[in-house]
Structure 1
Amino acid sequence: MLEVFFPELKKQAEEWVQHYGYTALFILSFTESVLQPVPPFPFITAAPLFKLDPYVAGLVALVGNVLGALVAYFLARYVGEGFVRKLLGEKRFLKGEALFNRYGFWAVLIGEPYKLVCWLSGIFGMPLWRFLLASLIARGVRIAFFVFWGDLLRRWVS
């Protein structure tokens, strides 16, 4: 689906990972938590094709995702509700507010897109430790799924 809306961005991300490996994966993971639409997950699964270890790729992606999430969380707190309302649009903002009012911690665990969850966590003042714990669990489980498939691919191509 990403190819339909952002074909050049997807192609550029593939070239970055091909040339810069883990560094590119870290940057993709970090920025995906803040704003950009290219997720790191396909690159974790395809890590062996980029001559990367899927376990290291998963760890790099997890660290990048969570650090980027912290940036989005603190940016949202800094720039304030008005800016985030404009950034997300009124409809998404109200939907996110209802989600956080109802589910709180669980909204971070199961909410997508992750960047939206990060911004809303900061705006609605979720305690930082709860946000980090939920992010580590949610991203860790999701990334582990892609590491599993990447490991299978590594075994198949070896």
Structure 2
Amino acid sequence: MDLYLIAQNLINDYGYLGMFLIAFTEAFIQPIPPDLYIIGASAFGLDPLTCAIVATIGSVSGGGVGHFLGYRLGTPIFIKLFGEKYLIKGEEFFDRYGIWGVLIAGFSPLPYKVAAWLAGIFEMKILHFSIGTLIGRFPRFLLVAYFGHSVAVFFGL
């Protein structure tokens, strides 16, 4: 079954719980970012602030799983999943930015799951990683949620 359809069904059938699951799994393994679902969910009636909070909690929790997997499984599994190119670029990125790198990856379209795994591989403290994730992800998800809500208001949905 198509991952997109699975994610869409999670939102339609389970609302906030579905959004939590999408944000949680995206943070460490699955490729579909939660942004589209946050937009859709808030456009079709879910509260934008609650959407952003739920997605952020899911992402921080899933990021912790990614951090743990990176720490425990290390470089060989990371290379198999994401490629050596991301490991080399990630190391340069983390050396240069540290916790700010997590914040940047959390807010930007950079692949967040890669940052989560790399934070574990490079043994970033989980508290620092979680703070960077929270500060990066919440504003992003809040903007996306209110964008969805604004679209719905504009078009009278």
- What band does the TM-score fall into relative to the shorter chain? 0.7 to 0.9
How many residues were matched structurally?
152
Partners of 2:62 and 2:40 lie apart in 1 by 22
Q: Which runs of 5+ in 2 are unaligned?
A: none
1:68 alignment partner in structure 2: 62
- Offset of 1:49 from its aligned partner? 4.5
Please, which moves more after superposition, 110-119 or 45-54?
45-54
1:103 to 97, 103, 109: 97
For the aligned residue pairs, the C-alpha RMSD in angstroms reads: 1.8
- Offset of 1:19 from its aligned partner? 1.4
- Offset of 1:41 from its aligned partner? 0.9
Return closer, same or farther for 1:134/1:48 CA change in 2, 3 Å cut-off. Answer: closer
1:1-158 map, 5 Å:
8-111=2-105, 112-156=110-154, 157=156
The answer as to whether partners of 1:10 and 1:38 remain within 8 angstroms in 2 is yes
- Offset of 1:61 from its aligned partner? 0.6
Q: TM-score, normalised by structure 1?
A: 0.87
1:141 maps to a residue whose letter is P
Secondary structure of the 1:79 match is helix
Partners of 1:138 and 1:48 lie apart in 2 by 20
Return closer, same or farther for 1:18/1:120 CA change in 2, 3 Å cut-off. Answer: same
The answer as to whether partners of 2:42 and 2:148 remain within 8 angstroms in 1 is yes
Q: TM-score, normalised by structure 2?
A: 0.88
Fraction of identical pairs, as percent = 39
Q: Which runs of 5+ in 1 are unaligned?
A: 1-6
Secondary structure of the 2:148 match is helix
